């Protein structure tokens, strides 16, 4: 639903999608704090001497002028606030940045304010420049993106019985949005994912603390994999369609392990 408060305004934004359009233009999707997702066109952005083309690059943090039209918005007077150059020459960082932008885009609504989502994306791209904990920062971002979008998973109470989850190995239900006690025995055929005690602890920790607090967290590979599987399947359930950047991110991840 497109419900913008103004027809012409200036805003900060993150560029999350770029497509060439014709010989000289580009179709650009941006995420903004007060107007959510905006789909627009940047006239002449492909031209070598374009004043705006260099600013409208994927994952750049920018300030620009937006004019809302009937179909696509038009973008002008663009200024780069942060290029996030720290990950542009590193495929591991770049692939995860693209993934962060794509799932933020899929959870954004055109014309709908979501300052929390916007600030989280900007902050996470900044963290991504500095960290070497690529899997951990991705899980932290996914959990916090779910939180600011209203889909935070229930990690403390059983979504089947309503009782507090006791220490131990349990299960996770994507369609019910949280942990299912190992002894709950759902009778409705709900698909369940194993959630080990260490995985539940990690998810709770990432869900509770700011990223700076995770630099010294040591996590074994199996726990990282289990948390990835749980959050990925839950995000797939919420979004309902493929996340294209996953394939690129996974390909880079597997090449690094060889």
pLDDT value at position 48? 72
In whole angstroms, give the CA distance from residue 48 to residue 249.
Answer: 30
Q: What is the mean pLDDT of each run of 10 residues along the chain (258 residues)?
A: 73 94 89 95 79 83 91 89 90 95 96 95 95 92 97 97 96 96 81 96 93 76 96 96 91 76
Regarding whether 141 and 49 lie in a shared domain, the answer is no
pLDDT value at position 1? 45
CB atoms within 10 A of CB 55: 21
Regarding whether 110 and 27 lie in a shared domain, the answer is no
| Residue 175 domain flag | yes
Regarding whether 247 and 213 lie in a shared domain, the answer is yes
Regarding whether 248 and 154 lie in a shared domain, the answer is yes
Task: Extract the runs of DSSP E, i.e. beta strands, from 43-177.
Answer: 61-67, 73-82, 170-173
**Distance, CA of 31 to chain centre:** 11
pLDDT value at position 16? 96
pLDDT value at position 166? 96
| Residue 2 domain flag | no
In whole angstroms, give the CA distance from residue 123 to residue 144.
Answer: 11
Regarding whether 74 and 99 lie in a shared domain, the answer is no
pLDDT value at position 142? 98
pLDDT value at position 72? 87
In whole angstroms, give the CA distance from residue 69 to residue 8.
Answer: 9
pLDDT value at position 4? 66
Which structural domain, as residue segments, surrounds residue 31?
A: 8-83
Which of 83, 115, 136 represents a domain boundary (last residue)?
Answer: 83
Could you tell me which residues come within 8 angstroms of residue 240 by beta carbon, excluding any fewer than 6 positions away?
none
Task: Extract the runs of DSSP E, i.e. beta strands, from the chain.
Answer: 8-21, 25-32, 36-42, 61-67, 73-82, 170-173, 178-180, 192-195
Regarding whether 253 and 129 lie in a shared domain, the answer is yes
């Amino acid at each position: 639903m497109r419900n913008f408060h103004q027809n012409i305004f200036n805003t900060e934004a993150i560029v999350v999608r770029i497509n060439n359009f014709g010989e000289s233009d580009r179709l650009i999707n941006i995420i903004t704090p007060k107007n959510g997702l905006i789909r627009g066109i940047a006239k002449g952005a492909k031209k070598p001497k374009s004043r705006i083309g260099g600013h409208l690059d994927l994952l750049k943090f920018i300030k620009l002028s937006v004019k809302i039209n009937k179909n696509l918005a038009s973008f002008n007077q663009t200024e780069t606030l942060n290029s996030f150059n720290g990950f542009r020459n590193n495929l591991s960082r770049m692939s995860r940045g693209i993934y962060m932008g794509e799932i933020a885009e899929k959870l954004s609504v055109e014309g709908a304010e979501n300052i929390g989502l916007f600030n989280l994306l900007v902050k996470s791209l900044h963290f991504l420049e500095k960290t070497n904990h690529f899997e951990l920062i991705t899980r932290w971002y996914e959990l916090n993106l779910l939180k600011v979008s209203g889909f935070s998973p229930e990690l403390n109470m059983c979504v089947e019985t309503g009782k507090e989850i006791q220490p131990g190995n349990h299960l996770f239900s994507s369609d019910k949005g949280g942990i299912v006690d190992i002894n709950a025995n759902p009778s409705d055929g709900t698909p369940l994912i194993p959630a080990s005690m260490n995985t539940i602890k990690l998810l709770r920790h990432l869900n509770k603390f700011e990223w700076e607090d995770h630099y010294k967290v040591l996590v074994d590979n199996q726990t990282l994999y289990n948390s990835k599987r749980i959050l990925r399947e839950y995000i797939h359930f919420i979004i309902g369609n493929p996340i294209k950047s996953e394939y690129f991110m996974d390909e880079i991840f597997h090449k690094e392990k060889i």
